[in-house]
Amino acid sequence: MEKRATMHEVAELAGVSQATVSLVLNGVPNARVSKATRRRVQEAAEQLGYRRGKTHPVPAGRTRVIGLFIDEVSTTPFAAAFIEGARDEAALQDVTIATFCTGNDPALEQAGLDMLVAQNAIGAIYCTLITRQVTVPAAFSQLPLVLLNCYEKKVQHPSVVPGDIVGGFTATDALLRAGHRRIAHLAGEHIVEAAIDREQGFRQAMDKWGVAVDESLVTLGGWTIRAGRERALALLSQPNPPTAIFCFNDRMAIGCYEVARDLGLSVPGDLSIVGFDDEDIAANMDPPLSTMVLPHDEMARWAVGQLLDGFDGVDADERLQKLKIECELLERNSIAPPEG
């Protein structure tokens, strides 16, 4: 039987990493891959006769099941995107996703792993709802593993996280392009890595445009609607208030909307606002909120693809990586040039 071309061979021929090949051939949107690179990967795949589109080989001798271990499902609204993305990608190959909500309980994790090992499952995905560094429990060494929305200090497994720094940059850049220079940032709690990264992106965008950050317009420590309300009121009550606000998340943006309305300010006529996360309510706000979309669906699909493609014949340095997928800006109706 003719030897089947591998993803590693496509990567070598195209002169890119295996991760880039995976992103291109799986059609993952928002990934930072140039058109020229995409064309090179596609031509290499065609030349080698490598499969195209979202078709993955199921590892031989494995039961068509992947375990998805999630620490929580109720602390944020993001669990559904992870579960649905993994489920939809796996279903393309008639593979089932078995979801385990463990709360980081070692006994529950072990029970799920025992079930998967007994079935000789394809592998496991270790997922956290909040992007963070993790120490993967030793028990997970029993199966091939990919980390979703988390990563290790010393990389031992493939992992994928959102590009929060670039996301913060893109959101702020949208306000700068609209003409704003007095821009506030409602930052999140610095115990949350995404808050640090999004603020870093905010500062990088301001620096690129040569606009000094007014530290009185950067407020820390919030993520709720109430926090957004309180911080927006303090900012907009200043003698020289901001003309635009970049919020750590959509919930804080809701608070900004409420304060603007109470003060008789119009959005975006008097105040432009950008959120982050694209929660369901964002599109239904008045006016609809411009926001950054977390690529959780794409991330989950990539994680499934990594397990289905397997790691045979791939160099350790090639597969042990921390991949970042960019967040997309959804420009709706909450950004306008400043008055005057």
Determine, yes or no, domain membership for 328: no
Q: Which residues of 51-80 are buried (b: 16+ CB within 10 A; e: fewer)?
A: eeebebebbeebeebbbbbbbbbeeeebbe
285 and 305 in a single domain? The answer is: no
pLDDT at 22: 72
pLDDT at 53: 47
Determine, yes or no, domain membership for 300: yes
Q: How many residues are present in the chain?
A: 340
84 and 233 in a single domain? The answer is: no
Domain range enclosing 109? 63-161+295-309
pLDDT at 167: 97
pLDDT at 140: 94
157 and 299 in a single domain? The answer is: yes
Determine, yes or no, domain membership for 336: no
279 and 174 in a single domain? The answer is: yes
Nearest residue to 145 via CA among 134, 159, 129? 159
Q: Is 72 helix (H, G, I), strand (E, B) or coil?
A: coil
Query: Any idea what the CATH number is for the domain that residue 245 is in?
Result: 3.40.50.2300
243 and 95 in a single domain? The answer is: no
Those residues with Cβ within 8 angstroms of residue 307's Cβ, 6 or more apart along the chain or in another chain: 66, 122, 123, 124, 125, 144, 146
* Pair of tokens at residue 180: 């704003």
pLDDT at 319: 59
pLDDT at 1: 34
Residue 249 to residue 223: CA distance in whole angstroms: 7
Neighbouring C-beta atoms of residue 302, cutoff 10 Å: 25
184 and 109 in a single domain? The answer is: no
176 and 81 in a single domain? The answer is: no
Residue 203 to residue 283: CA distance in whole angstroms: 27
Determine, yes or no, domain membership for 55: no
102 and 150 in a single domain? The answer is: yes
149 and 215 in a single domain? The answer is: no
Determine, yes or no, domain membership for 256: yes
pLDDT at 223: 86
Determine, yes or no, domain membership for 319: no
* Pair of tokens at residue 80: 């559904």
151 and 184 in a single domain? The answer is: no
69 and 119 in a single domain? The answer is: yes
pLDDT at 59: 75
Neighbouring C-beta atoms of residue 208, cutoff 10 Å: 12
Determine, yes or no, domain membership for 255: yes
Domain count of the chain?
A: 3
Q: Is 133 helix (H, G, I), strand (E, B) or coil?
A: strand
Q: pLDDT by residue for the chain (340 residues), tens digit each?
A: 344 566 667 888 988 876 787 778 777 666 678 888 888 888 888 888 765 445 667 777 889 999 999 988 766 678 888 998 898 888 878 899 999 999 889 999 999 999 999 999 999 999 999 999 999 999 999 999 999 999 999 889 999 999 999 999 999 999 999 999 999 999 999 999 999 999 999 999 999 999 999 999 999 878 899 999 999 999 999 999 999 999 999 999 999 999 999 999 999 999 999 999 999 899 999 999 999 999 998 899 899 988 987 755 455 555 568 899 999 899 999 999 998 7
Determine, yes or no, domain membership for 333: no
**How distant is the alpha carbon of residue 300 from its chain centre?**
9
Question: How far separated are the first and last CA of the chain, in Å rounded?
Answer: 72
Nearest residue to 98 via CA among 80, 109, 112, 88? 112
Nearest residue to 166 via CA among 213, 202, 131, 192? 202
140 and 173 in a single domain? The answer is: no
Peptide bond just before 337 cis, omega within 30 deg: no
